[in-house]
Chain A
Amino acid sequence: MMKITKEKMLEKQGYRLHILPSKKYKTINIVAKFKSELKKEWMTKRALLPMVLQKATQDHPSPRQLQSALENLYGTILSSDGTKKGENHVISFRMEVANEAYLNDRTPLLEEALRLFHNVLFNPKSENYAFDEKIFNREKQTLEQKITSIKDDKMSYANMRLIDHMCKDEPYAYHVHGYPEDLEKLTAADLYEYYQTFINHDLLDVYITGDVDEDEAERLIDKYFTRENASNQALIEKKTNTQPVDESKEIIEEDELNQGKLHLGFRTHTTFGDEDYYALQIFNGLFGGFPSSKLFMNVREKHSLAYYAASRFESHKGLLLVFSGIAPDVYEQAKSIILEQVEAMRNGEFTEEEVEQTKELVVNQLLETMDSAQGLIEILYHQVLSGHMVEAEELIENIRRVTMQEVVDMAKKIELDTIYFLTSKEGGEK
């Protein structure tokens, strides 16, 4: 089989460098991923930190100056986000810069962009061991607003509440935007102190992809990424702690809405790198991952109860989540139809042919994701998170090897943990 991706991985001073030359793109993408364990007292700081870092550097001391500098480089984009991945928290900084080869102008764009990237991470605007007060306070306000407005997006809100209940005593339930009470107390000096921990102790992986010369890319990144104080890092496996479900929970909460949000959380007890991870992918495809799946065909097409009814899984925590938007008065019906689909999966009510088709859909999805620069990097980063090196080719072979029995075994392995329903104040279940 053709080699799908060419990844060169190099150990550098305090980080790992991944070079992925590709002629697919007219831009170059650079992603820096910082990983730490999930700790409640860090959540608010880790939510706020990338927001503050992205606003100003010593040499571009106002948000507007920093943005203008990026714009001068043909509208280079810099963004950041923080996510939970299993028992880890990952902060990603992403930069996308036009490839000089397509321009009628010969500025050394990549080098200039990397210099800016370096300054954002390593030379933020600060004074007396604290971030700039004005920027800090403004970002604090923005984060506070972000925390309160989660409630305005009912799908995300219901998902958050499901995880709150389901993972109550686990780090995975910590809120990715942090907590208002922690935010209120936080000072510009506290955050700067945490920044020192972050910049020196998080595990860092840097990816670069695009139509670049490997040696030149390595030389440039070497020049702008060095962490003197950080130790070199081996791939460390941190297995999520998964326990059998004692008794499943059913939780109904009320809110002001037209459409009820029915979300179900299952434990898969399977994570990336496990042997049966591939069977989980096929299970999810047949169950709720595609428009041909049982959830879509039954909840939507057969019973017209919903516009969307789907499932997805979290690769590093071992969760499978089902979500659907339904009228408040069909809760019992929708719930039993969803649970019947799980039973049908356990009873092997699907054909060999459907298994084969689902494998091809999963492979197709994987290949499509790898056509996009950011998608490719996300897939490769699974390896870092899990401590398992699996080549893209191997992933595909393993998907194709899954048997019908393995899918049934997976269906039997998953356990219902929590049913969560966010419903309207007046029109709920009678």
Chain B
Amino acid sequence: MKELVYEQLKETIYTETLDNGLKVFLLTKPDMVKTFGIFATDYGSIDQTFTPLGKDETVTVPEGIAHFLEHKLFEKEDRDVFQDFTKQGASANAFTSFTKTAYLFSATSNIEKNVETLLNFVQDPYFSDQSVEKEKGIIAQEIKMYDDQPDWRSFFGTIQSLFHEHPVRVDIAGTVESIDEITKEDLYTCYETFYHPSNMTLFIAGNFDPEEMMKQVKDNQNAKEFAEAPSIHRSYPEEPENVAKAFEKIEMPVTTSKCMIGLKEKVAGLSGRDILRAELLSSMILSHYFSKSGEFYEELYENDLIDDSFHYETDLDRQFGFTILGGDSRNPDELAKRVKEMLHQLKERHISQEDFERMKKKKIGQFLRAMNSMEFIANQFSHYHLLGIDLFEVLPEIEALTIEKANDFLENWIHEDRIAVFQVVPPQAD
């Protein structure tokens, strides 16, 4: 077991890669009452085409299957796993993202038992035709719930405008039609390929003894057998650099229009560290100009083009990357035009040394705030780990950023053919 000490943050991580390939990370938090565990696989909604374990040919599975599988792992032949956690005073949950599926629990008692339950239920699938059919009704309602949410529709619509082919453009839950095609056999194929311990990480944060915890996890894993797992072969379509649709508008019964401006980010060939830097710089730059203290925000707000719902985010991964800005607007066309102009201006703008120091301070404060949350640490640590980034090195990485790096980044950031505008507007009279 390796011990990683982070002096400045006053945190220690204990880590080990087990014989079966599972990567384990333990973070002790003696002042906290709660313990939080997350068991995650490097498998998400974008992993639709791959070579199944033990096969030679690639297959393409129905859209939404990773999320469907996440739902179904909780159901066993004789019981629902939620009940097991309930009996042990814990709450459990799970989520599926573009690139990850994660199972988590939090508890303030029975920690050993809950860790055992987490490991065992994820590693013991039970899928039947009947339970697969039953889930279709539930997930159909989940999809319909999102269909009624204009914020979700505008977020996803923007991604669909940005990407031509890449499966990031497929809704994580799939569609009512695509999930209807899912069979028990599909679920086993995906499970066997992507839930091998060597494709997974376990992160536990909380109040426990790290030696004992590591021993428990090892004993649990050593008692189970897993097939030899060659590295997984996934395939993704060629994705052009430009956007699929520069402008798109849909109608929904909303009272206020929504307007999102999406940027398709270049990630091909970037190392983990490059990705982290790009993520830090883009969020610092956006925050400098487009947060409430920013001059662009001030202009947009004073001209009544945006309101408090205005926000921005950057998501960079190995396979794809995007930045989205926007929110409610009474004048979505004018907002799109102004924000695009502003983005193009960024390159010519000069960030002063003083401003840059302030940007860094703000980012550091933000990071420390996030580090209060064990959930954030566990989720983000696992996410970054897959990208080859150490979450606890983010603080020194921010401190080491220079204005030159920021200017280099700005030089190549914004291109007209990588911008897409997506609007949700109230039904127009004919």
Binding site for B on A (CB under 8 A): 4, 22-27, 62-64, 67-68, 70-77, 96-99, 102-104, 138, 141-142, 145-146, 148-149, 151-154, 255-259, 290-292, 296-297, 300-301, 304-308, 325-327, 357-358, 360-361, 363-365, 367-368, 370-373
Given A259-B141, A307-B142: A301 touches B80 (CB 8 Å cut-off)? yes
Other than the given A64-B298, A361-B86, A364-B91, 4 more pairs (CB < 8 A) read A24-B372, A64-B292, A64-B294, A67-B293
Q: Which chain B residues lie closer than 8 Å to A371 at the CB level?
A: 32-34, 374
Q: Which chain B residues lie closer than 8 Å to A370 at the CB level?
A: 33
- Would you give the shortest CB distance from B227 to chain A, in whole angstroms? 32
- Would you give the shortest CB distance from A307 to chain B, in whole angstroms? 4
The distance in angstroms between the C-alpha atoms of A68 and B291, with both chains bound, is 10
Q: Is the CB of B106 within 8 A of A368?
A: yes
Stretch in contact with the other chain, from B146-154, B159-167, B378-386 = B146-154
Interface size range on B against A: 35 or more
Q: Is the CB of B33 within 8 A of A259?
A: no
Query: Is B220 close to A, CB under 8 A?
Result: no
Binding site for A on B (CB under 8 A): 8-10, 29, 31-34, 80, 82-83, 86-92, 106-109, 134-139, 141-142, 144-145, 147-150, 253-256, 291-295, 297-298, 301-302, 304, 307-308, 328, 330, 358, 361-366, 368-369, 371-374, 399
B256 is contacted by which of A67, A145, A257, A259 (Cβ under 8 Å)? A145
The distance in angstroms between the C-alpha atoms of A371 and B30, with both chains bound, is 12
Q: Which chain A residues lie closer than 8 Å to B10 at the CB level?
A: 102
> How many A-B contacts are there with CB distance less than 8 Å?
182
CB nearest to B354 among chain A residues:
A72
Q: Which chain A residues lie closer than 8 Å to B256 at the CB level?
A: 145, 148-149, 152
Q: Is the CB of A99 within 8 A of B368?
A: yes
- Would you give the shortest CB distance from A103 to chain B, in whole angstroms? 7
Question: 5 tightest A-B contacts by CB?
Answer: A304-B137, A75-B365, A67-B293, A74-B365, A360-B89
Given A27-B368, A145-B328, A148-B256: A327 touches B291 (CB 8 Å cut-off)? no
Q: Is the CB of A326 within 8 A of B141?
A: yes
CB nearest to A324 among chain B residues:
B141
Can you name 21 A-B pairs with beta carbons within 8 Å?
A4-B33, A24-B32, A63-B298, A71-B358, A102-B8, A102-B368, A138-B301, A148-B255, A152-B254, A290-B86, A291-B91, A304-B135, A304-B136, A305-B141, A307-B138, A307-B145, A360-B89, A360-B109, A368-B106, A371-B33, A371-B34
Q: Which chain A residues lie closer than 8 Å to B82 at the CB level?
A: 290-292, 296
Given A72-B358, A152-B255: A26 touches B308 (CB 8 Å cut-off)? no
Q: Is the CB of A307 within 8 A of B139?
A: yes
Q: Which chain A residues lie closer than 8 Å to B90 at the CB level?
A: 361, 364
Q: Is the CB of A75 within 8 A of B363?
A: yes
Q: Which chain A residues lie closer than 8 Å to B254 at the CB level?
A: 149, 152
Q: Which chain B residues lie closer than 8 Å to A4 at the CB level?
A: 33
- Would you give the shortest CB distance from B327 to chain A, in whole angstroms? 11
Given A63-B298, A98-B369, A148-B255: A325 touches B89 (CB 8 Å cut-off)? no
